Chains A and B, each alone.
Chain A
Amino acid sequence: MNPLNERNKSGYGVDMAQSLFLMGNEAIGYGAVRAGAGMACAYPGTPSTEILETTARLEGIHAEWCVNEKVALETAVGASRAGVRTLVTMKHVGLNVAADPLLTLTETGVTGGLVIVSADDPGMNSSQNEQDSRNYAKFAKIPMLEPADSQEAYDFVAEAFALSEEFDTPVLLRSSTRLSHGRGQVVLRAPVEFERREYVKDLSKHLMVPQWARLRNRLVLERLEKLRARAEESPLNVLEEGSIDFGIITSGVVYEYAREAFPEAWFLKLGMSHPLPYKKVAELYEKVSRVAVVEELDAFIEEQVRMLGLPVIGKEAIPADGELDQDIVRSALEPYLSVPPPERRPPVFPPAQRLSDLPPVATLPVRPPVLCAGCKHRSVFAALRRHKVAAMGDIGCYMLGADPPLNALDSSLCMGASIGIMAGFNKALGRKASVAVIGDSTFFHSGITPLISAHYNEADGVVLVLDNRTTAMTGHQGNPGSGLWPDLTEGPAIDIQRLCEGIDVRCVTVDAADYGALEAAIKAEIDAPGLSVLVARAPCALMVREKLGEILVDDERCNLCGLCLDIGCPDIVPHEDTVSITDGCTGCGLCIEVCKRGALSYAGAEDGGAR
């Protein structure tokens, strides 16, 4: 028998003397270790805090306080990519902070399982608002597990990791104050056996530029229906037989209140509350003529039951705010037992959703955007390709370094995520296995906090800040690095080097136009231990629009080896047995630098080489 079903009989059918008496949060921490999680990331927040504190006390798992919930999730993404099962914990409002990575993580999925615990605080015992984290499961189209007591909290974590890997999705696990800070007996179980996964570079899964994200998004929508089919079968969702003509659909700790209030009722206890198993709901309606949904905060389940066309007692009786308990539930629902049951028609299940037509297969060459001719930051990618490290990219122009022929990036998730992902990836693998590549404006947007977090947690890595003094991709807006305001007048400008020095992170600044120096600096930083920042500075080629010289091709020396073509400049093209330079060339000279045969030179240069 599945141990998850044992609770429906008498206790767990086990000797409680052998159990630990654990707070729900402790149980989640123990559960993570049992499930083989190797890393836990969090920012503290009541009522979630003790989960990470528990993992920090236990063997076999590395626990980190990250600087905020967004960085915690991004660091966890890095560890997951490295194949490690990873737990991230936060309070409900923290999930707002982590929403940016979450809503794209749903597209990329995971390598090692990734479980996010969000602890809600109905009644605002220690919070500025009440919010129902289940809405994020719907928003992100990912599964939501809701344990009811400490034992389930312990057990469900392993289920969550298994689901995460099987369905290639982050999984949300919702706690709430009375679960997190309540205590109960927990019978510990044997460690979960599973196969540790390996990182494989896969741009179609990890680089969420439009061309790949559109395809991944279709998988997300298909995955949701597969998860719904699983929810129909899952032992986490249990139809419990009753002896009166009354059924209750509920989830989480609220189950305990409702069970105590109506011990004779039928129950559909949803351990996996999203996606909702419609057929299981309909099954309950076959058994009883009156059904109530009992849930804290939003009418999350109720709205979906109503969508099926089924009559239900919901938020007209159960308060839509604050915490519930058995007295509230009993007094709210008792009156409905003495009135005639509502009329009902058979449920109407929603039809399968249609997805948009796939675009026709291109019969003509496609023309993806490319790094501009003369973009000095192309040098960073040219140099980076020589090293066996994964390059965690970010948002903006520099995503273009991922495209052929440069192929110099592994990942892009959301603004500023490169640094957290790098930190988690390297921490999980125990070496400097990746670097981060981020533009200056993105660094100011969301790169500073993960840098602080990485430094505080002694993560290894190199953060390459490609500083072109502007927010280029969106059309050259000002940012704190340039100091330019929207009306193009000058405000204060912030120096990235000094900013890094201020938090004791080693930082070197190099001229991106000096290829030799840049290449040497990248090698030095990758070889050096610890964490450092390398700022490659050169203005955006579109803003300067200068012609530095005319580049000539020596047809005798050129053997079309392809080294210059590999830098991905749109203005070097193969031409018969050699290459030719086309009109858009700015004379930046990177092609001269990478040519090993001296076949390229500036017009008028004596030595035929670079300046």
Chain B
Amino acid sequence: MSAATTINAVTTVSLMGVGGQGILLAAAIIAETASAEGLRVKTSEVHGMAQRGGSVRSTVRFGERVFSPVARSADVVIATELLEGHRGLDMLSPGGALVCAVTTCIVPGSVARGEEPYPADLPAAAAARGVRLIAVDAEALAREAGTARAVNVALLGAASTVLAFAEEMWQRGLAAAVPARILEVNQRAFALGREAVGSDDVAQRGGD
């Protein structure tokens, strides 16, 4: 069982991605789900640069009582891009979980210009840290659901296997946070992500 599943204490989920990938929406879905579960929730995020291709982070904290909206460490990191997944490892302790869209690579300018390399071998980096890696081909799942833009929610589906909310609460969270016109496609993406964990489509590795 993941460290993230004890809801008596405060659980911290950190979402990491690239501007435009829907990090803020994914955070809102988790927050609404935790709220539906009857928990106290706080989130924090930085706006402004969020649509300009920069790194975006959002933090969701829930439990019976939550004080601070921020945290330097997380129980679960959800990364919608591979490099951001590498970055997210810094927030995790042994036993933590990294849910990462490992087939999504958005190359930053410095890498495109050949000034520095794109990091390699996330499974080894996660294992070295004792972090459970849930590696997801979220792009394929999102396309299967009907839109490549649903990488964020497909990944949430995978993350739902380590966050101890009932499926019904996730559905309520989705309905509360996702605009009605794109709810259905996101529900499909979520279901595909949730099913994928443990199936042949997803490789589970790491220190679990």
Contact = CB atoms under 8 A, between A and B. Distances in A.
14 contacts: A364-B83, A365-B110, A365-B116, A365-B118, A366-B108, A367-B54, A367-B55, A367-B83, A369-B19, A369-B54, A542-B51, A568-B109, A572-B112, A574-B113
Given A364-B86, A368-B54, A565 B113 contact: yes
Interface string B37-80: 00000000001110111110000000000000000000000000
A403 B49 CA distance: 14
A473 B48 CA distance: 6
A474 B51 contact: no
B18 A573 contact: no
A570 B109 contact: yes
Contact of A574 (B48, B55, B83, B114): B114
Contacts of B119: 364-365
A396 to B, nearest CB: 10
A405 B111 CA distance: 12
B172 interface: no
Contacts of A365: 83, 108, 110-111, 116-119
Contacts, number: 67
Given A364-B119, A475-B47, A372 B52 contact: yes
Contacts of B107: 573, 582
Contacts of B83: 364-365, 367
A383 to B, nearest CB: 20
A492 interface: no
Nearest to B17: A367
Interface in A536-572: 542, 565, 568, 570, 572
B70 to A, nearest CB: 14
Contact of B53 (A364, A370, A565): A370
Interface residues of B, number: 27
Contacts of A221: none
Interface string A124-143: 00000000000000000000
B131 to A, nearest CB: 15
Contacts of B52: 369-372, 397, 400, 473
Nearest to A368: B54
- Most chain A C-beta atoms within 10 Å of own C-beta, residue among B55, B109, B111, B118: B109
Contacts of A542: 51
- Most chain B C-beta atoms within 10 Å of own C-beta, residue among A370, A371, A400, A568: A370
A404 interface: yes
A370 B112 contact: no
Interface of A: 364-372, 397, 400, 403-405, 473-475, 542, 565, 568, 570, 572-574, 582
Contacts of B116: 365
Given A364-B83, A365-B110, A366-B110, A372 B51 contact: yes
B87 interface: yes
A475 B48 CA distance: 7
A405 B19 contact: no
A582 B107 CA distance: 10
Nearest to B112: A573
Given A367-B53, A475-B51, A542-B51, 14 more contacts: A364-B86, A365-B116, A365-B119, A366-B108, A366-B110, A367-B84, A369-B52, A369-B53, A370-B52, A372-B52, A474-B48, A572-B112, A573-B112, A574-B113
A542 B116 CA distance: 29
A367 B18 contact: yes
A366 B49 CA distance: 14
B59 to A, nearest CB: 17
Contacts of A397: 52
Contacts of B18: 367
B109 A364 contact: no
Contacts of A367: 18, 53-55, 83-84, 106, 108
A574 B109 contact: no
Contacts of A370: 52-54, 109
B48 A364 contact: no
Given A366-B55, A372-B52, A397-B52, A565 B112 contact: yes
A366 B207 CA distance: 27
A608 B109 CA distance: 27
B52 to A, nearest CB: 3
Contact of A405 (B53, B54, B108, B109): B109
Contacts of B54: 367-370
A527 to B, nearest CB: 32
A578 to B, nearest CB: 13
- Most chain A C-beta atoms within 10 Å of own C-beta, residue among B52, B54, B106, B118: B52
A597 B47 CA distance: 40
A152 B53 CA distance: 55
Nearest to A582: B107
A474 B52 CA distance: 11
Contacts of A582: 107
Nearest to B47: A475
B108 to A, nearest CB: 4
A474 B55 CA distance: 16
A404 B118 CA distance: 18
Contact of A404 (B84, B86, B109): B109
Contacts of A369: 19, 49, 52-54
Nearest to A476: B51
A573 B84 CA distance: 19
Nearest to B119: A364
Nearest to A371: B52
Contact of A368 (B106, B109, B117, B118): B109
